[in-house]
Chain A
């Protein structure tokens, strides 16, 4: 069980779906339809097994040690390990070896006030150098991430394009999550897509003659795309450099395009696919800008330090992004990398080059770097933004732009609800494990690069998204759209958590959400499969007909609502949501004022709304009496291939965040291992005048009464309140929902029209674009075409004249003369060509004799005689 196996295992796990994709691409058309399902499923299940194998290897080598989150919660305060304290204390030291290299970072009184216990532990911690702290933070000196190149594609100057990997516990957890969910979805799809196996009649597409469209089933195409999707996502997780990330990022995008537009004959589906793709392109444009900013400033694409020389020493040029941004000498605090500084302080560089021409010629930049550092610290002490800091912000915001697109954050969230046009398994995959998860994952991955200002942007976007989407979900009646908006809202939660400094909270929610959201979507798929409609008002009472679906979905609803026995046990959502709320609360404590409170208040309200609309969904679908008898009578429990994955996912949705008793292994502990070095620290932005509290603060035992207890109680209360409200309105019919709707008609209109986002975009972007295009097209037709026609006419005139004079007169004359000569010569020579073989042989023999005689007599007589 060597960790050197990891890249091989995971590499194979990534390639298996690709192999399946190629197999289906090449021969899928001719295989029996059911085989394609088996091939793809085998590939992803095997990938899943390999992922678990890798995870076990990881656990074997990196047992989560005391000091990570869950132990901090449960260990008595007297035995509390000093990691938290040290982490806090280290940034409390104004005169440490690396003083305040973060721009504007000053010793923050809030931090001190939040950690009195930490202060009591600080004497021994203070004496430790950052290196010592670092090694202990890196879990007993073991590497917390493995990164290397599989293959060097090419080296172009400084640019090294490689196929590389970056493996830490986050990668492994995500691998397992993606492969479990994808495996379940593959199984599910084998049942769900069985109509595609023969000739498929599309009920939503009517031909010109009024009949329904009939086409050959695309069962194998579906599985082919699924495989490619899994490959892209797994590749994105494994990617060890930015270039690979971008490639897989786009692959994920194109796969979602294919799958959303799977029913390509439906106008709505192809529109939705286009929409998803175009909206994502907008985000990706920002991402390219961010990546280019990173590349310009850092000169490398790799995440971690790649040992390019292969001899164990890390060359300076090959320091990864993370190392450069949070270098060892800056105490793993975010510091503007020297490359970015040099990039933006061009005036200073030029001045230096004029002063030191010989060093500039030799490319000896050590001196220059020293000078730049000096300048930077001068600017910091002046309270100015240091050189290159804006470049860092641009990089962060740019990358986040990509994530906004992929993770459907405001303002690019509009594609996700429409993406429900794809088959339900695809929705489940897109919403839980692959597409949208990619955005959050990337934010988590690039977390060390984000400056506080970027984090603020992320938090604002996240909080707005979570609220907006949650409100829209209240009124939606399409079962899948409710879930779509729920997804957007939950993604908003994650983004907000990340933006508020809750890295672990965000990542944990990503994982738990993946499970319960895939569960919910697949349950809804099962319902749709049974009743053949998406509209909840036509359902009701299905609990009796399809118990498996109903109760697994109930589990999903409970999980997403974060239902729990407070402090004892709960569904997975409880842990992650609580952690997010705690961080928000902690943030509120660190930042006074409405902005500080906004996040917590909105998030808590969002939690209530979430609980409400989820149970609204469940009650409308499963409880009460059937509203449409026809559909009810035709409903039936889905086949085993559909509900068995549901049960599996329900188990995961319940228990994935539990702390396994007697073993120090838990999801939180695992994820904590992957925390980027130096991010568990309190940071302050002077630009915004805000403080981001250390995530560990929220979980200190000392803060139990001030943070943990109130937040948990409040969250539980809001969740129960939401559930209760849903029960009152839809479950027991105490209050008629229609009355409520009439009373709040304006808000209802606002919400049912999804905040008029689509219309807004239409007015803001689409309509003006059409106008501009119209004008441009007129200019094109009138002026440019006229000009070109005129040019063409004059060229034609010139060509005609030229042809008459030069071509016909001069050139043709010469060619004709030559041709005539050739003809006459050929005509006189044709006599020789008698066509008689025997004559030719005689010619040959005579020529031989003649040559011999001529040579011997006239040239060199000694040759012959």
Chain B
């Protein structure tokens, strides 16, 4: 099953890279969401997969009963998801602001900080 996840991650990465390379920065944002998911899945899969046994300790026991899923990657992924959300929110607001300030979402037209040399006087 890990192999299948690996392929899924490959697809996610490929589509997100394609999206990030687009002219429209909104697509970059979409690509960012996808690739964050891919990175989270990489961490999740690296901790190996266990079906149907959440890492919880039943009342009365001192440790989990039977084989449970690897808890550490789950904690890392949780952290990464929240961080990813923070980054996403900022990036989205940035693009939003870029449109209202620069009047475009096309990155080719965003040349204020680095004007073309021929534009210089």
A binds B: no
- Interface, chain A (partner B; CB < 8 A): none
